[in-house]
Amino acid sequence: MLRQTSAAQPAGTEGGAAGQSAALPTAAAPHEGPPYTIAIDAGHGGTDIGAEGVINEIQLTEATIGYLEGWLTQDENYTPVRTHAADTFSKNTERAAAANSAGASLLLSVHGNSDPYSSDSYGLECYPQPPGRTHHADSLRLAHLIADKFGAAGQRLRGNAGVRYIYYAGDDESGYEKQVVEESDSTVYSEQTFGLLEKTDCPAVLVEQCFVTSEADVAAWGTDDGCRRAARLYYEAICEYFGTEPLPGT
């Protein structure tokens, strides 16, 4: 059961669950005007292949972030910063530290979802920083922009228009239970969300782009072409968030 509180608690441990916060370097001041520094995070890399299915999650995350980095690099309004080098493993604390030390104005973490019990599960979910966090409102706005782009492109939006909150209830001894709540629940809970979202000092959104266990989802959003299309939608959402004109292209 989630516990209501009046203030957010310290950041979680590795893996996104609750626990003691790790010391992070002092964050640089976010850039207030272009070029905006955008932290881009491939949710899995190196020896961490993520969920397994029709494809491995790492294939989706690396390809999508690579294409997104290309768009942001071409656009003079943005400076992309990877939270970790391509094809390498990095802990949540290290990835958050990379974003914070770069003075990122925004962080986007790309993942692939999975359902080991059914290949019928499919669709996109965006997880912003939950209510009570400093950057909740801006994070929520970006999450909606992303979900709207994908919905318009034909992707199924899970939950309430593709935006949900996630919390981890439990402790190190008994383990953690993942609890998903809909965006309509604005209660401030003491449980932690994903560790990366808790530790990042800027608006941040974690996206489950599609289910790697769904043939149809992978065909649409997990192939090389699907990842390229997804990266373009993320780029357009970022441009809309900052009020810049996206470069021509698809």
pLDDT for the residue numbered 157: 98
Domain-embedded: residue 3: no
Taking 50 as the threshold, does the pLDDT of residue 16 lie above it? no
142-171 pLDDT, tens digit each: 999 999 999 999 999 999 899 999 999 887
Taking 60 as the threshold, does the pLDDT of residue 25 lie above it? no
Domain-embedded: residue 46: yes
Q: What is the SS3 string spanning 133-146?
A: CCCHHHHHHHHHHH
Domain-embedded: residue 191: yes
Domain-embedded: residue 99: yes
List the domain range (segments joined by +) for residue 201: 36-242
Give residues with Cβ within 8 angstroms of 188, minimum separation 6.
Answer: 4, 5, 6, 7, 8, 130, 131, 132
d(CA 157, CA 170): 28
Taking 70 as the threshold, does the pLDDT of residue 15 lie above it? no
- The total of structural domains in the chain comes to 1
What CATH number does the domain containing 59 carry? 3.40.630.40
The C-alpha R_g of the chain, in whole angstroms, comes to 17
173-205 pLDDT, tens digit each: 778 899 999 999 999 999 999 999 999 999 999
d(CA 157, CA 65): 21
d(CA 127, CA 164): 5
Domain-embedded: residue 170: yes
Domain-embedded: residue 238: yes
**Phi and psi, residue 90, nearest 5°:** -145, 140
- Helix 136-152 / helix 224-242 crossing angle, nearest 10 deg: 130
Domain-embedded: residue 197: yes
Taking 80 as the threshold, does the pLDDT of residue 64 lie above it? yes
Q: What is the pTM of this model?
A: 0.88
- 88-107: average pLDDT: 96
pLDDT for the residue numbered 160: 87
Q: What's the pLDDT band for 5 if we cut at 50, 70, 90?
A: low
Among 204, 184, 55, which residue's Cα sits nearest to residue 141?
A: 204
99-134 pLDDT, tens digit each: 999 999 999 999 999 999 999 999 999 999 999 999
Domain-embedded: residue 17: no
Mean pLDDT over the full length of the chain? 90
Q: What's the pLDDT band for 4 if we cut at 50, 70, 90?
A: confident
